[in-house]
Amino acid sequence: MNTARSIIQSLHISASLKTIAEKVFNAERISMEDAVELYNTSELALLGVLAGVTKKRLSGDYVYFNRNFHVEPTNICVNHCKFCSYRRREGQKGAWELSIDDILTEIEKHKKSGATEIHIVGGVHPNRDVNFYIEMVQAIKKTAPHLHIKAFTAVEIDQMCQMGNITVEEGLQKLKDAGLESMPGGGAEIFDEKLRANICPDKTGSEEWLRIHTVAHKLGIPTNATILYGLLENYEQRVDHLNRLRETQEKTNGFNAFIPLKFKRENNEYSRVRETTLIEDLKNYAVSRIFLDNIPHLKAYWPMIGKQAAQLSLEFGVDDLDGTIDDSTKIYSMAGSEENPAASSNELINLIKELQLIPVERDSVYNILKLY
C-alpha cells in the first residue's frame, strides 16, 4: 500500500483524482461521478495502481482459470442486433442448429481435455422452447455428470420461457432441477435504453435482463455479468451500466464475475466504427475493477482481446483469464478476432507466472482446485 501511495504522489494529477485515490486506499466506495472522472483521465499509471489495490484486496495475488469448453447449439436467432456477426436466419448459408445428440457428440470430443465446465450459449432460436433446453440439460448431465453446466444468457431464458408459456421463475427452477448450475453474463450489452434501442432493438430490455439475473440469484443459481463496450456509448453510459450491476449485487450477491466484452467490427452493420485501442481496453478493466467493489472477480476474455493483451490486463485489476476453451467458440472469430480460441493450462499458467502472480485452477464457482 505504501508503494502504491508513493506512486500516486509522484504523479502530477488533480486534487479531485487524489481524493478518489484516497477513497480507494481506504476501501471506500467511489461514486458514479468519480468513475466518469477516472475514465476521462489520461493517467494510465494511476488507474493501474488503483485497480491493483482493489484487486489485491479482493483476491490477493491469485489469478484464476478453469478447464472448459463451449457448445453453441445454434446461431439461428430471432433478434436483429446490429453489432452481431454471429446471427443467421434459418436456411441462410452459415447457419447451424445442433440436435441434442449432436451436442452429446461434441461433449465426447472434449472428454479427454480434463474440462470441468461446459459453457452453452447461442442464438435465440425461433422454434425451441424451454422444454427442449430442459431435455438438453438432462441429457448432458446424464452423459457427463462431472461437468458443471453453465448455460443460457438471460436473453435466451426470456425467449424460451415465453415460448413455453411459463414464467422465468418456473423456467429457471425447471432448468436448475434438470442440472443447470450457473449462468453466463451475455446479452447485457449496454443498459442505457436509448442506445440499446438503437443497437439491439428487439432484444430483452435492460430491466428484464437484471430481473432475470435477480431471479436466478434467489433460486441459488450464480451468474456472471457483462458489458459490450466500444460501440457508440459514452463514459456516462458505461458508468450507468456498472452502477446498475453494483446495485443489483448489493441486493442479491449473486454475480461471480464481471466480463467486459469488446466490440469487434468485422461482418456486422458497424464496420465503420473504429475498435477501441489497447489503452482504452486497459482503462475499462481498471475503472470496472475500482467501481465494482462488490463483484469479486474481473475476467479478461482472451479469445476477444488476445492472450498478450489479457496478460497485460492482469496489471489493471483482472484476476481471471477464463479457461482453456479448446477451440470451441465461433462468436468472436466470426467478428474478426484473430486469436485461435484454444489455450493449454500450461500456457495460461505461464502467462500468469511471468507477472509473478499465482495461477489458480478453479471450478466454475471459484472453489480452488489447485495452486501452481
CATH of domain 56-371: 3.20.20.70
The pLDDT value recorded for residue 186 is 95
Return d(Cα 334, Cα 152) in angstroms, integer. Answer: 20
pLDDT at 269: 84
Q: What is the pLDDT of residue 335?
A: 42
Lowest mean pLDDT among 166-180, 297-311, 358-372: 297-311
Confidence of residue 265 (pLDDT cuts 50, 70, 90): confident
Distance CA 251, CA 234 (A): 27
pLDDT tens digits along 100-157: 999 999 999 888 888 999 999 999 889 999 999 999 999 999 999 999 999 999 999 9
* Residue 331 near residue 36 (C-beta atoms within 8 A): no
pLDDT digits (tens, 9 = 90+) for 28-53: 999 999 999 999 998 999 999 999 99
Q: Comparing 196 with 3, which gets the higher pLDDT?
A: 196
Per-residue pLDDT for 333 more than 80?
A: no
- Burial (CB < 10 A; 0-12, 13-18, 19+), residue 123, is buried
Mean pLDDT for the chain overall? 92
What is the reported pLDDT for 341? 59
- DSSP β-ladder status, 358-362 and 368-371: antiparallel
What pLDDT score was predicted for residue 328?
A: 44
Position 340 confidence tier, pLDDT thresholds 50, 70, 90: low
Q: pLDDT band at 336, cuts 50/70/90? A: very low
Provide the pLDDT for residue 134.
Answer: 98
Among 89-93, 160-164, 289-293, 315-319, which is the least confidently predicted range? 89-93
Give CA torsion, residues 240, 242, 246, 252, to 10 deg.
100
Give the domain ranges of the chain.
Answer: 56-371
pLDDT band at 244 (very low <50, low <70, confident <90, very high): very high
- Strands 320-323, 62-66: pairing kind: parallel
- The answer to whether the CB of 199 falls within 8 A of the CB of 190 is yes
Q: Give the residue-averaged pLDDT of 9-17.
A: 85
Q: Beta-carbon neighbour count of residue 184 at 10 Å?
A: 21
